[in-house]
Amino acid sequence: MKLLKLPVLCAVLLVFISDIKFSKCDDFPSLITQNASIAIIIDREYLDVQYEDVLKEIKVIIERVLREDLKNGGLVVFYYAWTKINLRKDFTAVFSITNCENTWEIYRDSRGENLLLMAITDPDCPRLPYDEGLMIPIMTPGEELPQLILDTKARHSFDWKSAVLLYDNTFDRDMISRCVIALSRNFPDDSNQVQPLSVSVYKIRETSLDWNRRKHIRNILTSLPSRFIGTNYMVLVTTELMQTIMEIARDLKMVNTFSQWFYVVSDTNYKSGNMSTVLSLLEEGNNIAFIYNYTSDNGECVSGIKCHSNEILRAFTLGLSQAIREELAVYGQISDEEWEIIRPSKVERRGSILNFILEHLRKTSSCSNCTMWKIETADIWGSRYQASTFTSQSVAEKKLQIDSNVDYALINAGMWRPFEGLLMNDVLFPHISHGFRKKVFHIITYHNPPWQYIKTNGTDIVSEAHGVVIDILNEISKKLNFTFVLHTTSTSTDLNTTDETTNLTMTKEIRLLTTDLPTEVASMLNENKILLAAVASTVNDRYKNFLNFSIPISIQPYSFIVAKPKELSRIYLFTAPYTHGTWLCLALMIVILPPILCLVNRISPYYEFHNQCTKKGLFKFSNCFWYIYGALLQQGGLYLPQADSGRLIIGTWWLIVIVLVTTYCGNLVAFLTFPRVDVQVKTVGELVRQSAMSWGMRSGTYFEDYIRDSNDIPKYETLYKGAKFHSDENPEIIDLVRQGKHVYIDWKSNLLYIMRREYLKTETCDFALSSDEFMEEQIAIILPYNSPYLELFNVELTRLHQMGLIQRWIKEYLPKKDRCSKQSNLIEVVNHVVTIDDMQGSFLVLLLGFMAGLLIFCTECTWRYYRKRREEKIIQPFVE
């Protein structure tokens, strides 16, 4: 059964697949079964008096090309004198001579049928989509500028929303207004998505004196409100003025990584056209492109409708002929069914004919072939830092060999010709579209967790790297399209130490890996040899004069650790509800009250009056005492006074007892439930006020500088004066902290590391962090002084911040949460179980009571013994 099913399934599948293939080809006649046809539309209205002439000429041309060039098959030609025709489906191509508007009308009509449209039309006409048709605007030589701009825009060479147009007086107002219209007009075809630009136009006046002109240009450039009009400049000038403007713009720092300068130079030609003179004016971080006149003025320069018609129709016929030939060649070898499957679709046929025409025209075109413009763009970004000659392997002779005078190269980005418009081999602004263009940079770094974890094996070439900074660099390099090779450096610095010792130029092994910068890194940045240092560094005034910092990648607050507050012993818990004063008062009451009660009872005339016994009960002092004591413990007594005076005293005592006992019970429960802990030092204020613990921090940190100089904040002043400065955190210090004798101040993240490390060592949580986070230190990446890429990197870093990536990476490299981190700040309130420890105190009292009882028992015994002895002595004489 199963074996049978499989072939059936395959057959079904096969039919299905072939079905798909059949449905792909649309039902248009192939060039073999039916002759191709072309509609020739010659707009009588548009040509006016020229019409008859042109028509006759075209008929002659058609006749000739059919005779001479169409070797296989045939071509059916239909002539129309107006444009509102119904384009039949079986046309192969349309050739039209009409104005721009009607051309686009025809295009829209023919688009659905995938016809090949070849059009001759007005100047300043937006090109038809490059892969669907050919358009030749007939223009007088020297007036091609607006068309040029239109074509540049249609090709999405620049993605601008606004443009600043600067021009000099080589162009008249008419030409400029045509250029402005070209920039700001809407395209008839919305599928192309060419957005109109907002254009601000500025004219540079001609002045005879060079000095005057410079001043004028400077004034214009400085007064541009670039915040509102954008930083995309299109400059239509002569070569000479271009150089002046480039110079001034560079000096005004208007050429940066975000601005785009597009120079349109018209006074050159194919001989003098050479932009190499501007190379010296280029600088790192620029975006500059040129399009310049490459028109040749020797030789004959024909143009006009007839010339172009002739060329196009001829090229078309040749193209068609070739297409037929190709189809025939294939057709001859295969069966009809197969042919139906593989024959080219209409779109494919249109594409191949169009390509043939363009190819043919490029090679042989002689109409308007003088007019040509060349586009060059500068590949600048990162050229300076691109060290292709880095060979050194040894740490000792590690010097990045970089030429100080860099040769920037101009890229031949493309050219413009009337029949095909813009032909680009590269993008107009390579760095805007492709960032650093996959350049390879050598970047220096060193091991400094958690920012940089670097592993090397022998050489200075890094074999493995990760860490916050490296992660950031990886992400940015992807975005900005560069790759990098990491090199490590030894971490020593010869920075002048800030304290006033005589030994100023001391080379020390670097310890404070973010506060100090290794000499090598500093010098490389200073000499502008590397794009950036993959190094997290404290934003520090000391370096600001010869380096530039990016925006902070992280903000590190300072904090301190103290010994974790101990839980107090609970042996005397039962005494806790009352303060010592209260206990004392209570004892006093018990001492004072019985005599008073006794006295009142004895003095009271009540008993005498009623003639009652006044020897027993509360008349005895000891009974009074025991009664008061018993009442306090809410025990009744045998006797009660009968006189109202005595009763009143006892009544009020009972009241007090209720209050005392209730308060005691309530508090006792509370104290049993909540553990009692030591007071913890939580803020800097508390730290400087206490005197039991000393405090210390690493020396040379930014924080030290800060508190030394902050004379106006008293607590920092005290903090600085009382602080001990350690060269580094070490086990002795940590032990002191653990014993509660010392407080250690550092970055919070470092403290977290220490706490984690100690926890892993001892498995107990001995430390607590301060709740105070003070003095935030900014950590940033370093770039060379006045690096043009600072803003660029800042933008990328901001983006990473906004996406929360940096935050995440930092968190990843921080110690993981453990048992201690939960309790680091506050002792958590947990339901406390009362243990025997908590009761010890009461048992102690019981023991004391027993012992006291025993003591008194012994006293009583001895007392009795002596009494007996004395009685015996007295009685003796009577004994015989």
Ligand X SMILES: *[C@@H]1O[C@H](CO)[C@@H](O)[C@H](O)[C@H]1NC(C)=O
How far apart are CB 518 and ligand X at their closest, in Å?
A: 12
Question: Considering only residues 162, 238, 366, 840, which one is a binding residue for ligand X as defined by CB under 6 A?
Answer: 366
Interface characters, 144-173, with ligand X (x: CB under 6 A) = xx----------------------------
Q: Does 799 bind ligand X (CB under 6 A)?
A: no
Whether a cis peptide bond, with omega within 30° of 0, leads into 126 is no
Q: Is residue 287 within the footprint of ligand X (CB under 6 A)?
A: no
The amino acid occupying position 621 is: F
786 lies in the site for ligand X, by CB under 6 A: yes
CB of 444 to ligand X, least distance (A): 18
Among the listed ranges 282-290, 335-343, 456-464, 672-680, the one in contact with ligand X (CB under 6 A) is: 456-464
Give how far Cα 813 sits from Cα of 443, 452, 470, 711, 750, Å: 22, 10, 12, 36, 12
Residue 90 or 838: which CB sits closer to ligand X?
90
Min dist CB 35 to ligand X, Å, is 4
* Closer Cβ to ligand X, 437 or 738, answer by number: 437
Only one of the segments 291-299, 726-734, 744-752, 843-851 lies at the binding site for ligand X (rule: CB under 6 A); that segment is 291-299
Which residues share a beta bridge with 260? 232
Of 191, 276, 691, 876, which lies in the binding site for ligand X, with binding defined by CB under 6 A?
A: 276
293: contact with ligand X by CB under 6 A: yes
Q: Which two tokens stand for residue 714?
A: 């008293």
CB of 71 to ligand X, least distance (A): 11
**Of the candidates 318, 495, 684, 792, which one interacts with ligand X according to CB under 6 A?**
495
| In the complex, minimum distance from the CB of residue 52 to ligand X, in angstroms, rounded to a whole number | 26
Q: How many residues contact ligand X, by CB under 6 A?
A: 38
Q: Which is nearer to ligand X, 294 or 744 (CB)?
A: 294
Q: Which helix (H) or strand (E) holds 270?
A: none
* Closer to ligand X by Cβ: residue 132 or 426: 426
Phi-psi region of 126 (alpha: psi -120 to 50; beta: other; left: phi over 0): beta
Provide long-range contacts, Cβ within 8 A and 24+ apart, for 400-405: 400/442, 400/524, 400/529, 400/530, 402/529
Q: Which is nearer to ligand X, 258 or 664 (CB)?
A: 258
Selected range binding ligand X among 242-250, 296-304, 736-744, 849-857, rule: CB under 6 A: 296-304
Q: Pick the stretch among 142-150, 328-336, 692-700, 807-815 that binds ligand X (CB under 6 A).
A: 142-150
Which 3 state secondary structure label does DSSP give 171?
coil
Q: Cα 314–349–328 angle (5° rounding)?
A: 85
Q: What are 629's two structure tokens?
A: 């004591």
Which one, of 233, 294, 253, 230, lies nearest residue 429 by Cα? 233
Q: Is 296 in the site for ligand X (CB under 6 A)?
A: yes
Nearest approach in angstroms of CB 141 to ligand X is 6
97/427 with CB nearer ligand X: 427
How is residue 158 annotated by DSSP?
Answer: -
- Window 425 to 454, contacts with ligand X (CB under 6 A): 434-435, 437-438
**Positions 709 through 768 that interact with ligand X (CB under 6 A):** none
**Residue 652 assigned as binding residue:** no
Please answer whether residues 164 and 230 qualify as being in contact, where contact means their C-beta atoms are separated by less than 8 angstroms.
yes
CB atoms within 10 A of CB 56: 10
What gap in Å lies between CA 641 and CA 257, rounded to an integer?
Answer: 103
The number of CA neighbours under 13 Å toward the Cβ of 832 is 18
Q: How far is CA 213 from the centre of its chain?
A: 44
How large is the C-alpha radius of gyration of the chain? 50
Q: Which residues contact 284 (CB under 8 A, 6 or more apart)?
A: 380, 381, 382, 383, 384, 787, 788, 789
Q: Does 505 bind ligand X (CB under 6 A)?
A: yes
Do residues 751 and 824 touch, judged by C-beta distance below 8 A? no
Of 417, 415, 435, nearest to 425 by C-alpha is: 415
Minimum distance of ligand X from residue 160's CB (angstroms): 19
Check residue 41 for interaction with ligand X (CB under 6 A): no
| 70/839 with CB nearer ligand X | 70
Asked if 787 and 548 touch (Cβ cutoff 8 Å), the reply is yes
d(CA 370, CA 808): 60
Q: Locate 137 and state its tokens.
A: 């605007």
Cα–Cα distance for residue pair 250/286, rounded to 1 Å: 9
For residues 666 and 224, give the distance between their C-alpha atoms in angstroms, rounded to a whole number: 79
Residue of closest CB approach to ligand X: 74
Q: Stretches 15-23, 80-88, 206-214, 457-465: which one binds ligand X (CB under 6 A)?
A: 457-465
Instruction: Kindly state the smallest distance separating residue 256's Cβ from ligand X, in Å.
Output: 9
Check residue 503 for interaction with ligand X (CB under 6 A): yes
Q: Is residue 548 near ligand X by the rule CB under 6 A?
A: yes
When binding is defined by CB under 6 A, the residue of 74, 123, 129, 740 that contacts ligand X is: 74
Residue 792 in contact with ligand X, rule: CB under 6 A: no
CB of 566 to ligand X, least distance (A): 43
Determine the interface stretch with ligand X among 46-54, 81-89, 365-373, 613-621 (rule: CB under 6 A). Answer: 365-373
Q: Which of 763, 574, 570 is nearest to 667 (CA)?
A: 574
Angstrom distance (rounded) from CA 484 to CA 601: 103
Residues 6+ apart with CB under 8 A from 162: 197, 198, 199, 200, 229, 230, 232
Closest distance to ligand X from the beta carbon of 541 (Å): 9
Q: Which is nearer to ligand X, 56 or 71 (CB)?
A: 71
Q: Which is nearer to ligand X, 504 or 592 (CB)?
A: 504
Q: Which residues pair with 563 in a beta bridge?
A: 767
Closest approach, Cβ 787 to ligand X, in A, equals 7
Nearer to ligand X, 244 or 787 (CB): 787
Nearer to ligand X, 64 or 682 (CB): 64
Asked if residue 92 binds ligand X (CB under 6 A), the reply is no
Which of residues 142 and 849 has its CB atom nearest to ligand X in the complex?
142
Please select the residue that binds ligand X; options are 83, 232, 309, 369, rule is CB under 6 A: 369
Site track 620-649 with ligand X (rule: CB under 6 A), x = hit: ------------------------------
- Between helix 580-603 and helix 621-632 the angle, nearest 10°, is 140
Q: Which is nearer to ligand X, 200 or 548 (CB)?
A: 548
- Mapped onto helix, strand or coil, the DSSP state of residue 366 is coil
Closest to ligand X by CB, 73 or 351: 73
DSSP letters of 463-528? EEEESHHHHHHHHHHHHHTEEEEEEE---EE-PPPSS--S--S--EE---TTTS--HHHHHHHHTT
Residue 34 near ligand X by CB under 6 A: yes
Per CB under 6 A, contacts with ligand X among 235-274 are: 266, 269, 274
Is the C-alpha dihedral spanning 360, 362, 368, 369 positive or negative? negative
Select from 370, 400, 422, 454 the one that contacts ligand X (CB under 6 A).
Answer: 370
- Contact call for residue 481 and ligand X (CB under 6 A): yes
Cα–Cα dist 247/237, whole Å: 14
Q: Of 153 and 439, which has the nearer Cβ to ligand X? A: 439
Which residues are annotated as part of the binding site for L-glutamate?
A: 538
Which residues are annotated as part of the binding site?
A: 538
State the residues that interact with ligand X by CB under 6 A: 34-35, 73-74, 141-142, 144-145, 266, 269, 274, 276, 293, 295-297, 299, 366, 369-370, 434-435, 437-438, 457-458, 463, 481, 495-496, 503-506, 544, 548, 786, 790
